Amino acid sequence: MKSFIYEFIRRGLTACGIGPVILGIVYLILQRTSDVHTLTVNQVCIGIFSVALLAFIAGGMNAFYQIERLPLMVSILIHGVVLYISYLVTYIVNNWLEWGMMPVLVFSGIFVIGYLIIWIIIYSVTTRKTKQLNKMLKEKQKNTGEQ
């Protein structure tokens, strides 16, 4: 448990520095695509702190995959639920998403589809690399056996 907490904090702090940069990109997109031209100091501070916290949580959550006692599907479920709640709260706190049934349903659908697409990509890349490594290992074992 101690190593998990250390790894969570280490990964979280690594990702945390990227959060304000992402926030700046979000604010620039909002300026270009909507009627947001000025922000109050309060909005900027809440944005910086909430996005830094979100990045810390998102980065730290990857440490769940280091816990070998948890089945992979349980780790993915915990990871997804915590990220979903973190993103939803961050969007609502920053007024990027209105609180209501329809906006939350649209957000939820987009989040689930995005999460699934990312996991399908990760799964296919990992499977392809595993097959390549197994092929290389078999060739090496074959070449070692011939000598």
Where exactly are the structural domains of the chain? Answer: 1-97, 100-147
Cβ atoms within 10 Å of 6's Cβ, excluding its own: 11
Write out pLDDT tens, residues 4-31.
Answer: 788 778 777 777 777 777 778 887 887 8
**Where is 131: in which H helix or E strand?**
helix 101-146
Position 82 confidence tier, pLDDT thresholds 50, 70, 90: very high
Which segments within the chain are labelled E, that is strand? none
What pLDDT does 68 receive? 67
What pLDDT does 89 receive? 93
Q: Are 54 and 19 in contact (CB under 8 A)?
A: yes
Round the average pLDDT of the chain to a whole number and report it. 84
- Gyration radius of the chain's alpha carbons: 20
Helix axes 41-61, 72-93, angle to 10 degrees: 180
pTM (two decimals): 0.73
User: Diameter of the chain by CA atoms?
Assistant: 73
Tokens 């945390």 label which residue? 16
38-52: average pLDDT: 84
